Amino acid sequence: DDARLAEELRRMDGASYGRYKSLTGDWSFPDFTLTVERVQSDPFAPPSRVAVRVPAEVAELPDHAWRDPVRRRATADYLVRRAHRELKGARLRIDAGGQQVIARASGRIRDGAVELRLGIELPGHGRRIDARTAERELCERLPDLVDALRWPALDTAEATAFADSVEDTVALRDLLPGLGLVAFVADGAVLPRRSGVSDSPMEGAAVPFTAPESMRVAVDLPHAGRVTGLGIPEGITLIVGGGFHGKSTLLHALERGVYDHVPGDGRELVVTRPDAVKIRAEEGRRVERTDVSAFVRNLPTGADTADFSTDNASGSTSQAANIAEALEAGARTLLVDEDTTATNLMIRDARMQRLVHGDREPLTPFVDLVRPLHRGHGVSTVLVMGGSGDYFDVADRVVMLDGYRPYDVTERAKELAAERADADFAMPAARVVDPRSVDATARGRARVKRRDMDVLTFGEDEIDVRGLTQLVDPGQVIGVGLALRLLAEDGLLDGERTLAQALDALEERLGADGAAALGRGYAGDYALPRRHEVAAALNRLRSLRVLRST
Ligand code: ADP
Ligand code: MG
């Protein structure tokens, strides 16, 4: 018990650091169980890992805080954030999210019991054990933390409002298909961020969102009641406007709208369909046997673009591959910003067509495909394009941002539009991945690591994930690696299933409580990724081999 742990620690004082290893295992405290899961081998190694289980009788969470999966995720997230604040200045660390509420390994509620997973830098004087400090952390700080997280000790109004807010966001997102919308931006939402490197809301100067009357939609939410805002309908929506008028800011908010945001973020009621994927050019990426023939034909190399591979894609072919792969993984809403696209894949004006035509131009621009994509396959597109009017011809709706305010300029744009004959869009071929090419092991052990939000180390490979702009949390980078590992090791990639089917099987495996199933002995922090980012990382794995595409 706790007295035993304190005693044990005192006995270790001054002993060589390695003796900390003997703490591994369970220690019962009056109010909780502490499990020492992994002990660092020296003071400079990554922190040791501990788990804390607070039984339901102690946690005293009311039913409404955890009975359904959405509120359970929200309350767990709230508790982790509370714990994070409580541990300021401690050696104990807990992984709390940023502006998004995402299932993560650090906090989980199961049958009313609260389970936390933390890191701790076990203290040393050089390479000798500093038992005094260790005792203070584990035998004082930790019980204080558990005390502070009991429902009666919480600001219960705040905790309840947190779950209510997340529940409203989820309800709003669930309403989108029935309303024929791909996204919704509430009146009053605050979209701009504090800076290019901060995800917190802009203060003071932010112009709150106001929907144009003609596109305003009203919805009823379980807690907020009636809410109005801009409904972005299925089909093709073009966002235009002068430079610096807020176009990219709106699109970024839509990218993030697949996640739930914390109260006070400003984007709590900005939602996008879960299958929305940001498309961008990504020069230099590898492509493995992807069908880009809808966009690219007759390359000067004579390569078969229905089965296209390269170790170094160009801007346009990388973007074509990104679209094809997103569709393959199940994306049915594409988000595109002129700032990060390859112009020659987006547009081709009449003069250029006269100069470079026929077989000399391998690319079919997106402007010719965006309508067939919707007509034939129900794929919607929201596109920011301030620099060319070509998309007037194909847009269902045109929204102009002027001084951060949106206006419906569809009619005016249609007066300026031209007729455009468009072809059919053939969905890219489905691929079957070679399971042996996805291997998490390096030097005989599983290796899943990350470098910031830039690189995922997976086995012997380093995957560049900088192009995956809808990864929003460092923990998700690890989550992607763990998902890849699960795909490979549990036979979800079996050499028979298509990639899309394997992703379906993955989602099924993860179920409602998502993050927990990813862990499989992984000792560190991680958060739940979407299937789209899992697929995107797999597609960027340099060892990936595709067996066949059909
Ligand atoms: P665009 O893509 O149209 O060129 P951006 O979306 O990049 O414009 O926005 C330009 C600047 O305006 C950014 O610094 C952004 O933070 C700021 N901004 C965007 N929306 C708002 C708003 N609603 N209120 C205040 N500032 C905003
Ligand atoms: Mg922009």
Q: Determine whether the shortest distance from the Cβ of 311 to ligand 1 is under 6 A.
A: no
**Is ligand 1 within 6 A of the CB of residue 267?**
no
| CB of residue 280 inside a 6 A radius of ligand 1 | no
Give yes or no for residue 188 CB within 6 A of ligand 1.
Answer: no
Instruction: Kindly state the percentage of the chain with pLDDT values over 70.
Output: 99
Cβ 243 under 6 angstroms from ligand 1: yes
CB 280 within 8 A of CB 467: yes
* Cα angle 508, 510, 516; round to 5: 165
Q: How confident is the model at residue 405 (pLDDT cuts 50, 70, 90)?
A: very high
Residue 531 Cβ inside 6 Å of ligand 1? The answer reads no
Average pLDDT over residues 59-74: 96
Residue 82 near ligand 1, beta carbon < 6 Å: no
**Measured between alpha carbons, how far is 20 from 309 in angstroms, rounded to an integer?**
51
Helix (H, G, I), strand (E, B) or coil at 429: coil
Evaluate whether 173 touches 78 at the Cβ level (below 8 Å): no
Which ligand sits closest to the CA of 338?
Answer: 2
Q: What is the pLDDT of residue 422?
A: 75
Q: How many CB atoms lie within 10 A of CB 116?
A: 25
Distance from the alpha carbon of residue 197 to the mean position of ligand 1, in angstroms: 14
For the Cβ of 191 lying below 6 angstroms from any atom of ligand 1, the answer is: yes
Tell me which of 92 and 351 has the higher pLDDT.
92
Q: Which ligand is nearest to the CA of 193?
A: 1
Q: Which of 331, 227, 313, 230 has its CA nearest to residue 274?
A: 331
Residues contacting residue 304 through CB under 8 Å, at least 6 positions apart:
none
Instruction: Indicate whether this complex's ipTM tops 0.90.
Output: yes
User: 354: pLDDT confidence band, cut at 50, 70 and 90?
Assistant: confident
CB atoms within 10 A of CB 430: 15
* CA 192 – ligand 1 centroid, Å: 6
Q: Candidates 249, 256, 383, 407: which one to mutate for ligand 1, based on the most atoms within 8 Å of Cβ?
A: 249
DSSP state of 312: S
Give the ligand at the shortest distance from the Cα of 336. Answer: 2
CA distance 319 to 322: 5
Give the model's pLDDT for residue 221.
98
Determine the pLDDT at residue 293. 95
Contact 149, 79 (CB under 8 A): yes
Q: Which ligand is in closest contact with the Cα of 250?
A: 1
Whether ligand 1 lies within 6 angstroms of the CB of 392 is answered as no
**Beta strand ranges found along 341-480 (DSSP E):** 380-384, 397-402, 405-408, 431-433, 441-442, 445-446, 448-451, 455-458, 461-464
Query: What is the reported pLDDT for 298?
Result: 85
Q: Name residue, tokens 């809301």.
A: 201
Please give the Cα distance from 430 to 177 (Å, whole number).
25
> What residue's CA is closest to ligand 1, atom 16?
192
Q: From the CB of 266, is ligand 1 less than 6 Å away?
A: no
402 CB near ligand 1 (under 6 Å): no
The structure tokens listed for 322 are 């990104």
Specify the pLDDT at position 410. Answer: 98
Ligand nearest to the CA of 247: 1
Give the number of the ligand closest to the Cα of residue 340: 2
* Secondary structure (H, E, C), 243-274: CCCCHHHHHHHHHHCCCEECCCCCCCCEEECC
Beta bridge partners of 408: 399
pLDDT at 513: 64
Residue 1's pLDDT band, with cuts at 50, 70 and 90, is: low
Confidence of residue 520 (pLDDT cuts 50, 70, 90): confident
Instruction: For residue 22, give the DSSP letter.
Output: G
Residue nearest to atom 20 of ligand 1 (CA): 246
**241: Cβ below 6 Å to ligand 1?**
yes
CA–CA distance, 206 with 198 (Å, rounded to integer) = 15
Tokens found for residue 214? 């003609």
The pLDDT assigned to 421 comes to: 79
> What's the token pair of residue 383?
């596109």
Assess contact for 380 and 234: CB atoms under 8 A.
yes
- The reply to whether ligand 1 has any atom less than 6 angstroms from the CB of 206 is yes
Protein residue with least CA distance to atom 4, ligand 1: 244
Contact 122, 20 (CB under 8 A): yes
Residue 399 CA to ligand 1 center (angstroms) comes to 15
pLDDT digits over 244-280, tens only?
999 999 999 999 999 999 999 999 999 999 999 999 9
pLDDT at residue 512 above 80?
Answer: no
pLDDT in tens, 299-351: 888 889 999 999 999 999 999 999 999 999 999 999 999 999 999 999 988 88
* Residues 412-464 pLDDT 10s: 999 999 988 778 999 999 999 999 999 999 999 999 999 999 999 999 999 99
Ligand 1 pocket test: pick from 198, 199, 239, 244 the residue with the most ligand atoms within 8 Å of its Cβ.
244
Residue nearest to ligand 1 atom 21, measured at CA: 192
Residue 47 has pLDDT above 80, yes or no: yes
Share the mean pLDDT of the chain.
96
Q: Tokens standing for 287?
A: 């492509």
Is the Cβ atom of 192 under 6 angstroms away from ligand 1? yes
Q: Tell me, what's the pLDDT at 517?
A: 87
Distance from Cα 171 to the centre of ligand 1, integer Å:
28
pLDDT for the residue numbered 359 = 79
Protein residue with least CA distance to atom 27, ligand 1: 192
